[in-house]
Copies of this chain bind each other. A is one copy, B any other.
Amino acid sequence: MAAPSYQAKMILERILKNGSVEKRMAELQPRLPEDKPLPPGIPGGKEYTQEGLEARWRLLKEMGIKHDQIAGRGEEIPPGALEGNIENFIGFARIPLGIIGPLRINGSEAQGDFYVPLATTEGALIASYNRGAKVLSQAGGVTALCLTESVSRSPCFVFDNILEARHFLSWVLARLGTLQEIISRTSRFCRLMDLKTAIIGKELYLIFEYTTGDAAGQNMVTLATEAISKELIAGSPVKPRHWYIEGNLSGDKKATMLAFTYARGKRVVAEATIPGRIVQQFVHAEPQDLVRLWQVSVMGGIQSGSIGVQGHYANALAALFIACGQDAACVSEAAIGLTRMDLTEKGDLYVSVSLPNLIVGTVGGGTHLPTMRECLEMIDCYGAGRARKFAEICAATALAGEISIIGAMAAGHFARAHATLGRKGSKS
Protein backbone atom coordinates (compact mmCIF):
# COMPACT_ATOMS: atom_id res chain seq x y z
CA MET A 1 0.00 0.00 0.00
CA ALA A 2 2.92 2.19 -0.80
CA ALA A 3 2.70 5.28 -2.95
CA PRO A 4 5.81 6.75 -4.55
CA SER A 5 6.72 10.20 -3.36
CA TYR A 6 5.56 11.99 -6.49
CA GLN A 7 2.07 10.64 -5.91
CA ALA A 8 2.14 11.65 -2.27
CA LYS A 9 2.99 15.17 -3.33
CA MET A 10 0.16 15.24 -5.85
CA ILE A 11 -2.26 14.27 -3.14
CA LEU A 12 -1.12 17.04 -0.89
CA GLU A 13 -1.43 19.55 -3.67
CA ARG A 14 -4.91 18.48 -4.57
CA ILE A 15 -6.04 18.61 -1.00
CA LEU A 16 -4.69 22.09 -0.54
CA LYS A 17 -6.17 23.34 -3.81
CA ASN A 18 -9.40 24.29 -2.10
CA GLY A 19 -8.13 26.02 0.96
CA SER A 20 -5.48 26.21 3.61
CA VAL A 21 -4.17 23.16 5.44
CA GLU A 22 -5.85 24.40 8.58
CA LYS A 23 -9.21 24.72 6.88
CA ARG A 24 -8.95 21.34 5.21
CA MET A 25 -7.78 19.73 8.42
CA ALA A 26 -10.72 21.23 10.28
CA GLU A 27 -13.13 19.64 7.83
CA LEU A 28 -11.71 16.24 8.59
CA GLN A 29 -12.20 16.50 12.35
CA PRO A 30 -14.93 14.52 14.09
CA ARG A 31 -18.16 16.42 14.73
CA LEU A 32 -20.06 15.18 17.74
CA PRO A 33 -23.85 14.92 17.65
CA GLU A 34 -23.93 17.17 20.72
CA ASP A 35 -22.42 19.94 18.65
CA LYS A 36 -24.05 19.19 15.34
CA PRO A 37 -27.21 17.10 15.65
CA LEU A 38 -27.69 14.07 13.45
CA PRO A 39 -30.69 13.73 11.12
CA PRO A 40 -33.29 11.14 12.08
CA GLY A 41 -32.55 7.43 12.16
CA ILE A 42 -34.28 5.03 9.80
CA PRO A 43 -37.72 3.86 10.86
CA GLY A 44 -37.08 0.15 10.96
CA GLY A 45 -40.08 -0.71 13.10
CA LYS A 46 -42.69 -2.98 11.56
CA GLU A 47 -39.84 -4.02 9.36
CA TYR A 48 -41.64 -6.12 6.80
CA THR A 49 -45.00 -4.35 6.55
CA GLN A 50 -46.28 -1.85 4.04
CA GLU A 51 -46.44 0.73 6.85
CA GLY A 52 -42.76 0.21 7.67
CA LEU A 53 -41.89 0.63 4.03
CA GLU A 54 -43.94 3.79 3.73
CA ALA A 55 -42.41 5.24 6.85
CA ARG A 56 -39.01 4.88 5.21
CA TRP A 57 -40.30 6.43 2.00
CA ARG A 58 -41.57 9.37 4.05
CA LEU A 59 -38.13 9.83 5.54
CA LEU A 60 -36.57 9.83 2.08
CA LYS A 61 -39.14 12.35 0.90
CA GLU A 62 -38.50 14.61 3.87
CA MET A 63 -34.81 14.44 3.11
CA GLY A 64 -35.51 15.39 -0.50
CA ILE A 65 -34.35 12.03 -1.82
CA LYS A 66 -36.01 10.83 -5.03
CA HIS A 67 -36.94 7.19 -5.00
CA ASP A 68 -39.64 6.66 -7.58
CA GLN A 69 -37.73 4.07 -9.58
CA ILE A 70 -36.57 2.31 -6.44
CA ALA A 71 -40.14 2.21 -5.18
CA GLY A 72 -41.31 0.77 -8.49
CA ARG A 73 -43.32 3.85 -9.48
CA GLY A 74 -41.05 5.31 -12.11
CA GLU A 75 -41.25 5.25 -15.85
CA GLU A 76 -40.54 2.17 -17.91
CA ILE A 77 -37.01 1.84 -19.19
CA PRO A 78 -36.99 1.40 -22.97
CA PRO A 79 -34.52 -1.16 -24.37
CA GLY A 80 -32.71 1.62 -26.18
CA ALA A 81 -31.60 3.09 -22.87
CA LEU A 82 -29.49 0.00 -22.27
CA GLU A 83 -27.22 0.37 -25.24
CA GLY A 84 -23.68 0.11 -24.03
CA ASN A 85 -24.71 -1.72 -20.87
CA ILE A 86 -25.91 -5.12 -21.97
CA GLU A 87 -26.55 -7.36 -24.94
CA ASN A 88 -29.23 -10.02 -25.40
CA PHE A 89 -31.37 -8.04 -22.95
CA ILE A 90 -34.43 -9.83 -21.55
CA GLY A 91 -35.48 -7.73 -18.55
CA PHE A 92 -34.29 -6.84 -15.10
CA ALA A 93 -33.09 -8.66 -12.03
CA ARG A 94 -34.64 -7.05 -9.00
CA ILE A 95 -32.44 -6.93 -5.91
CA PRO A 96 -33.89 -5.74 -2.60
CA LEU A 97 -32.62 -2.33 -1.52
CA GLY A 98 -32.28 -1.13 2.05
CA ILE A 99 -30.67 1.88 3.62
CA ILE A 100 -28.41 2.55 6.57
CA GLY A 101 -27.70 5.80 8.29
CA PRO A 102 -27.28 8.50 9.02
CA LEU A 103 -23.57 7.84 8.58
CA ARG A 104 -21.58 10.95 9.37
CA ILE A 105 -18.48 11.33 7.20
CA ASN A 106 -15.84 14.01 7.55
CA GLY A 107 -13.98 13.33 4.37
CA SER A 108 -11.75 15.22 2.03
CA GLU A 109 -14.56 14.88 -0.50
CA ALA A 110 -17.50 13.33 1.31
CA GLN A 111 -18.81 15.77 3.91
CA GLY A 112 -22.08 15.27 5.75
CA ASP A 113 -24.57 12.78 7.07
CA PHE A 114 -25.48 10.10 4.57
CA TYR A 115 -28.24 7.57 4.10
CA VAL A 116 -26.42 4.86 2.21
CA PRO A 117 -28.32 2.49 -0.12
CA LEU A 118 -27.31 -1.17 -0.06
CA ALA A 119 -28.64 -3.92 -2.34
CA THR A 120 -28.48 -7.37 -0.84
CA THR A 121 -30.35 -10.55 -0.12
CA GLU A 122 -28.30 -11.45 2.92
CA GLY A 123 -30.42 -11.06 6.02
CA ALA A 124 -28.84 -9.21 8.97
CA LEU A 125 -26.36 -7.41 6.72
CA ILE A 126 -28.13 -4.08 6.68
CA ALA A 127 -29.02 -4.25 10.36
CA SER A 128 -25.36 -4.83 11.11
CA TYR A 129 -24.08 -1.99 8.95
CA ASN A 130 -26.75 0.30 10.35
CA ARG A 131 -25.53 -0.42 13.85
CA GLY A 132 -21.99 0.33 12.77
CA ALA A 133 -23.15 3.60 11.23
CA LYS A 134 -24.81 4.55 14.49
CA VAL A 135 -21.70 3.84 16.53
CA LEU A 136 -19.52 5.85 14.16
CA SER A 137 -21.91 8.79 13.90
CA GLN A 138 -22.33 8.98 17.66
CA ALA A 139 -18.55 9.16 17.91
CA GLY A 140 -18.45 12.18 15.60
CA GLY A 141 -18.20 10.38 12.31
CA VAL A 142 -15.64 8.85 10.04
CA THR A 143 -12.58 10.71 8.80
CA ALA A 144 -12.02 9.58 5.23
CA LEU A 145 -9.32 10.41 2.73
CA CYS A 146 -9.12 9.38 -0.88
CA LEU A 147 -5.32 9.28 -1.15
CA THR A 148 -4.47 8.25 -4.68
CA GLU A 149 -6.19 7.19 -7.85
CA SER A 150 -5.08 5.39 -10.96
CA VAL A 151 -6.33 2.76 -13.36
CA SER A 152 -3.81 0.63 -15.16
CA ARG A 153 -3.55 -1.38 -18.31
CA SER A 154 -0.53 -3.60 -18.87
CA PRO A 155 0.17 -4.58 -22.46
CA CYS A 156 2.81 -7.21 -23.10
CA PHE A 157 5.30 -7.10 -25.95
CA VAL A 158 7.05 -10.31 -26.94
CA PHE A 159 10.48 -10.20 -28.57
CA ASP A 160 13.08 -12.78 -29.45
CA ASN A 161 15.38 -11.88 -26.62
CA ILE A 162 16.00 -9.43 -23.84
CA LEU A 163 18.17 -7.21 -26.01
CA GLU A 164 15.31 -6.46 -28.34
CA ALA A 165 12.97 -6.01 -25.41
CA ARG A 166 15.31 -3.42 -23.95
CA HIS A 167 15.77 -1.71 -27.25
CA PHE A 168 12.03 -1.25 -27.55
CA LEU A 169 11.85 -0.06 -23.95
CA SER A 170 14.40 2.66 -24.68
CA TRP A 171 12.24 3.75 -27.57
CA VAL A 172 9.20 3.92 -25.32
CA LEU A 173 10.94 5.78 -22.52
CA ALA A 174 12.27 8.37 -24.94
CA ARG A 175 8.71 9.05 -26.13
CA LEU A 176 6.98 9.17 -22.74
CA GLY A 177 6.37 12.88 -23.05
CA THR A 178 4.53 12.50 -26.34
CA LEU A 179 2.03 9.86 -25.30
CA GLN A 180 -0.55 12.11 -23.68
CA GLU A 181 -1.31 13.66 -27.03
CA ILE A 182 -2.13 10.27 -28.51
CA ILE A 183 -4.24 9.40 -25.51
CA SER A 184 -6.20 12.61 -25.80
CA ARG A 185 -7.44 11.52 -29.19
CA THR A 186 -9.21 8.61 -27.47
CA SER A 187 -10.65 10.42 -24.47
CA ARG A 188 -10.90 13.87 -22.99
CA PHE A 189 -10.53 12.57 -19.45
CA CYS A 190 -7.79 9.99 -19.65
CA ARG A 191 -4.43 11.18 -18.29
CA LEU A 192 -1.25 9.10 -18.24
CA MET A 193 0.29 9.42 -14.80
CA ASP A 194 3.10 6.91 -14.75
CA LEU A 195 4.61 3.99 -16.57
CA LYS A 196 6.06 0.99 -14.81
CA THR A 197 8.05 -1.61 -16.64
CA ALA A 198 8.63 -5.29 -16.08
CA ILE A 199 11.09 -7.29 -18.14
CA ILE A 200 11.23 -10.99 -17.46
CA GLY A 201 13.47 -11.89 -20.37
CA LYS A 202 12.16 -11.60 -23.89
CA GLU A 203 8.79 -10.33 -22.67
CA LEU A 204 8.29 -6.69 -21.78
CA TYR A 205 5.25 -5.72 -19.76
CA LEU A 206 4.42 -2.03 -19.60
CA ILE A 207 2.07 -0.91 -16.85
CA PHE A 208 0.46 2.33 -17.92
CA GLU A 209 -1.22 4.13 -15.04
CA TYR A 210 -3.92 6.65 -15.82
CA THR A 211 -6.45 8.83 -14.14
CA THR A 212 -9.87 8.56 -15.74
CA GLY A 213 -11.84 11.53 -14.48
CA ASP A 214 -14.96 10.36 -12.71
CA ALA A 215 -15.42 7.19 -14.73
CA ALA A 216 -14.34 3.79 -13.43
CA GLY A 217 -12.37 3.87 -16.63
CA GLN A 218 -11.45 0.33 -17.60
CA ASN A 219 -12.59 0.80 -21.18
CA MET A 220 -11.05 4.25 -21.37
CA VAL A 221 -7.61 2.92 -20.47
CA THR A 222 -7.96 0.02 -22.88
CA LEU A 223 -8.54 2.36 -25.79
CA ALA A 224 -5.80 4.72 -24.70
CA THR A 225 -3.35 1.88 -24.30
CA GLU A 226 -4.23 0.44 -27.67
CA ALA A 227 -3.65 3.78 -29.33
CA ILE A 228 -0.26 4.43 -27.79
CA SER A 229 0.89 0.84 -28.20
CA LYS A 230 0.10 0.89 -31.89
CA GLU A 231 1.84 4.18 -32.42
CA LEU A 232 4.89 3.14 -30.44
CA ILE A 233 5.20 -0.08 -32.38
CA ALA A 234 4.69 1.65 -35.71
CA GLY A 235 7.61 3.94 -35.10
CA SER A 236 10.00 1.63 -33.31
CA PRO A 237 13.05 0.31 -35.17
CA VAL A 238 12.58 -3.02 -33.38
CA LYS A 239 9.14 -4.60 -33.60
CA PRO A 240 7.66 -7.10 -31.17
CA ARG A 241 7.01 -10.52 -32.59
CA HIS A 242 3.64 -10.45 -30.80
CA TRP A 243 1.90 -7.98 -28.55
CA TYR A 244 -1.21 -8.11 -26.40
CA ILE A 245 -3.29 -5.28 -25.02
CA GLU A 246 -3.24 -6.85 -21.54
CA GLY A 247 -0.60 -9.14 -20.06
CA ASN A 248 -2.72 -9.97 -16.99
CA LEU A 249 -0.56 -7.76 -14.81
CA SER A 250 -3.00 -4.90 -14.28
CA GLY A 251 -5.04 -6.74 -11.65
CA ASP A 252 -8.27 -6.18 -13.57
CA LYS A 253 -11.11 -8.12 -11.91
CA LYS A 254 -9.02 -10.03 -9.43
CA ALA A 255 -7.51 -9.67 -5.98
CA THR A 256 -3.78 -9.04 -6.31
CA MET A 257 -0.89 -8.13 -4.07
CA LEU A 258 0.12 -5.66 -6.76
CA ALA A 259 -3.02 -3.62 -6.21
CA PHE A 260 -2.63 -3.93 -2.46
CA THR A 261 0.94 -2.67 -2.80
CA TYR A 262 0.68 -0.02 -5.47
CA ALA A 263 -2.99 0.89 -5.22
CA ARG A 264 -5.27 0.52 -8.21
CA GLY A 265 -8.41 2.52 -8.65
CA LYS A 266 -8.92 4.78 -5.70
CA ARG A 267 -7.11 4.24 -2.44
CA VAL A 268 -9.02 5.41 0.59
CA VAL A 269 -8.17 5.38 4.26
CA ALA A 270 -10.91 5.95 6.81
CA GLU A 271 -10.70 6.07 10.58
CA ALA A 272 -12.61 6.83 13.75
CA THR A 273 -11.89 6.99 17.44
CA ILE A 274 -14.82 5.72 19.45
CA PRO A 275 -15.10 6.64 23.12
CA GLY A 276 -15.38 3.71 25.48
CA ARG A 277 -18.85 4.71 26.66
CA ILE A 278 -20.20 4.55 23.10
CA VAL A 279 -18.69 1.13 22.57
CA GLN A 280 -20.28 -0.02 25.80
CA GLN A 281 -23.67 1.48 24.99
CA PHE A 282 -24.03 0.31 21.40
CA VAL A 283 -21.77 -2.72 21.13
CA HIS A 284 -22.23 -4.04 24.67
CA ALA A 285 -18.52 -4.70 24.99
CA GLU A 286 -15.37 -2.91 26.08
CA PRO A 287 -12.93 -1.37 23.59
CA GLN A 288 -10.26 -3.85 24.65
CA ASP A 289 -12.62 -6.74 23.82
CA LEU A 290 -12.73 -5.60 20.23
CA VAL A 291 -9.01 -4.96 20.08
CA ARG A 292 -8.27 -8.42 21.44
CA LEU A 293 -10.53 -10.10 18.91
CA TRP A 294 -9.03 -7.99 16.15
CA GLN A 295 -5.58 -9.25 17.05
CA VAL A 296 -6.77 -12.83 16.90
CA SER A 297 -8.45 -12.07 13.57
CA VAL A 298 -5.24 -10.65 12.18
CA MET A 299 -3.39 -13.84 13.13
CA GLY A 300 -6.18 -15.82 11.52
CA GLY A 301 -6.19 -13.70 8.40
CA ILE A 302 -2.46 -14.10 7.98
CA GLN A 303 -2.80 -17.85 8.29
CA SER A 304 -5.54 -17.88 5.68
CA GLY A 305 -3.25 -16.28 3.13
CA SER A 306 -5.53 -13.38 2.37
CA ILE A 307 -4.31 -10.23 0.61
CA GLY A 308 -4.26 -7.76 3.44
CA VAL A 309 -6.37 -8.58 6.46
CA GLN A 310 -9.91 -7.37 7.00
CA GLY A 311 -13.27 -8.66 8.09
CA HIS A 312 -15.82 -8.40 5.31
CA TYR A 313 -15.35 -5.36 3.09
CA ALA A 314 -16.96 -7.45 0.36
CA ASN A 315 -20.35 -7.17 2.00
CA ALA A 316 -20.30 -3.38 1.94
CA LEU A 317 -18.85 -3.14 -1.51
CA ALA A 318 -21.06 -5.70 -3.23
CA ALA A 319 -24.17 -4.07 -1.78
CA LEU A 320 -23.04 -0.57 -2.72
CA PHE A 321 -21.78 -1.52 -6.16
CA ILE A 322 -25.03 -3.27 -7.12
CA ALA A 323 -27.12 -0.41 -5.80
CA CYS A 324 -25.07 2.32 -7.42
CA GLY A 325 -24.38 1.04 -10.93
CA GLN A 326 -20.80 0.05 -10.36
CA ASP A 327 -19.23 -3.03 -11.92
CA ALA A 328 -20.02 -5.71 -9.36
CA ALA A 329 -17.27 -7.94 -10.77
CA CYS A 330 -14.83 -5.42 -9.33
CA VAL A 331 -15.78 -6.63 -5.86
CA SER A 332 -13.21 -9.31 -6.61
CA GLU A 333 -10.42 -6.77 -6.64
CA ALA A 334 -11.83 -4.08 -4.36
CA ALA A 335 -12.57 -6.27 -1.36
CA ILE A 336 -9.02 -6.31 -0.06
CA GLY A 337 -7.34 -4.05 2.44
CA LEU A 338 -6.25 -3.63 6.00
CA THR A 339 -8.32 -3.07 9.11
CA ARG A 340 -6.52 -1.78 12.18
CA MET A 341 -7.84 -1.58 15.72
CA ASP A 342 -6.00 -0.16 18.66
CA LEU A 343 -6.63 1.10 22.14
CA THR A 344 -5.83 4.77 22.65
CA GLU A 345 -3.96 5.94 25.71
CA LYS A 346 -7.33 7.00 27.16
CA GLY A 347 -8.76 3.55 26.62
CA ASP A 348 -10.93 4.48 23.65
CA LEU A 349 -11.24 2.38 20.52
CA TYR A 350 -9.30 3.42 17.44
CA VAL A 351 -10.21 1.78 14.16
CA SER A 352 -9.16 2.37 10.59
CA VAL A 353 -9.73 0.73 7.23
CA SER A 354 -7.53 1.04 4.16
CA LEU A 355 -8.95 0.10 0.77
CA PRO A 356 -6.33 0.32 -1.94
CA ASN A 357 -8.35 -0.81 -4.91
CA LEU A 358 -11.69 0.95 -5.36
CA ILE A 359 -12.52 0.90 -9.05
CA VAL A 360 -15.56 3.16 -8.98
CA GLY A 361 -17.12 5.87 -11.09
CA THR A 362 -19.95 8.36 -10.94
CA VAL A 363 -20.30 8.74 -14.67
CA GLY A 364 -20.49 5.98 -17.26
CA GLY A 365 -21.04 2.29 -16.59
CA GLY A 366 -24.44 1.64 -15.06
CA THR A 367 -24.65 4.95 -13.21
CA HIS A 368 -27.30 6.40 -15.52
CA LEU A 369 -29.78 3.55 -15.14
CA PRO A 370 -32.87 4.59 -13.23
CA THR A 371 -32.57 2.92 -9.81
CA MET A 372 -28.81 3.29 -9.84
CA ARG A 373 -29.01 6.97 -10.54
CA GLU A 374 -31.47 7.40 -7.68
CA CYS A 375 -29.11 5.55 -5.36
CA LEU A 376 -26.17 7.69 -6.41
CA GLU A 377 -28.24 10.84 -6.00
CA MET A 378 -29.25 9.69 -2.53
CA ILE A 379 -25.62 10.20 -1.52
CA ASP A 380 -25.05 13.10 -3.92
CA CYS A 381 -22.68 11.05 -6.03
CA TYR A 382 -24.28 11.18 -9.45
CA GLY A 383 -22.22 12.73 -12.22
CA ALA A 384 -18.92 14.45 -12.72
CA GLY A 385 -16.69 15.50 -9.87
CA ARG A 386 -17.92 12.92 -7.40
CA ALA A 387 -15.96 9.70 -7.90
CA ARG A 388 -13.54 10.33 -5.04
CA LYS A 389 -16.47 11.26 -2.85
CA PHE A 390 -18.15 7.98 -3.68
CA ALA A 391 -14.94 6.12 -2.88
CA GLU A 392 -14.82 7.74 0.54
CA ILE A 393 -18.41 6.70 1.22
CA CYS A 394 -17.46 3.13 0.23
CA ALA A 395 -14.64 3.14 2.76
CA ALA A 396 -16.75 4.68 5.51
CA THR A 397 -19.44 2.05 4.93
CA ALA A 398 -16.82 -0.70 5.05
CA LEU A 399 -15.63 0.75 8.36
CA ALA A 400 -19.17 0.60 9.73
CA GLY A 401 -19.28 -3.07 8.83
CA GLU A 402 -15.96 -3.85 10.46
CA ILE A 403 -16.94 -2.19 13.74
CA SER A 404 -20.23 -3.99 13.75
CA ILE A 405 -19.07 -7.51 12.98
CA ILE A 406 -16.05 -7.39 15.27
CA GLY A 407 -18.23 -5.85 17.95
CA ALA A 408 -20.86 -8.53 17.53
CA MET A 409 -18.33 -11.33 17.78
CA ALA A 410 -16.53 -9.73 20.68
CA ALA A 411 -19.83 -9.42 22.51
CA GLY A 412 -20.75 -12.96 21.56
CA HIS A 413 -23.97 -12.18 19.76
CA PHE A 414 -22.91 -12.68 16.16
CA ALA A 415 -24.49 -16.07 15.76
CA ARG A 416 -27.63 -14.85 17.49
CA ALA A 417 -28.12 -11.99 15.03
CA HIS A 418 -27.91 -14.38 12.16
CA ALA A 419 -30.28 -16.78 13.82
CA THR A 420 -32.99 -14.15 14.21
CA LEU A 421 -32.53 -11.97 11.13
CA GLY A 422 -30.96 -14.12 8.51
CA ARG A 423 -32.51 -17.52 8.60
CA LYS A 424 -35.76 -17.39 6.78
CA GLY A 425 -34.36 -18.53 3.49
CA SER A 426 -31.95 -21.12 4.74
CA LYS A 427 -34.04 -22.36 7.68
CA SER A 428 -33.98 -26.09 7.97
Contacts and interface: CB of A to CB of B under 8 A. Distances in A.
Q: Point out which of A47, A125, A330 has the most chain B C-beta atoms below 10 A from its C-beta.
A: A47
A103 interface: no
A90 B72 contact: no
A20 interface: no
Contacts of A259: 304
Given A202-B342, A318-B329, 16 more contacts: A8-B173, A48-B79, A85-B120, A90-B117, A93-B95, A122-B327, A190-B428, A200-B338, A202-B352, A217-B426, A225-B415, A242-B292, A244-B409, A299-B340, A307-B307, A314-B330
B318 A331 contact: yes
Nearest to A311: B248
Contact of A87 (B84, B127, B190, B427): B127
Q: Which 3 A-B pairs have the closest CB atoms?
A: A84-B424, A201-B352, A121-B366
A254 B217 contact: no
Contacts of A1: 198-200, 303
A216 B423 CA distance: 12
A146 interface: no
A159 to B, nearest CB: 11
B318 A328 contact: yes
Main secondary structure on A side of the interface with B: mixed
Contacts of A393: none
Contacts of A147: 199
**How many copies, total?**
4
A252 interface: yes
A335 B254 contact: yes
A213 B98 contact: no
Given A96-B85, A162-B145, A253 B335 contact: yes
A49 B201 CA distance: 42
B70 A300 contact: no
Given A92-B94, A428-B213, A269 B199 contact: yes
Given A92-B97, A352-B162, A126 B303 contact: no
Interface in A305-363: 305-315, 317-319, 322-323, 325, 327-333, 335-336, 338, 340, 342, 344, 350, 352-354, 361, 363
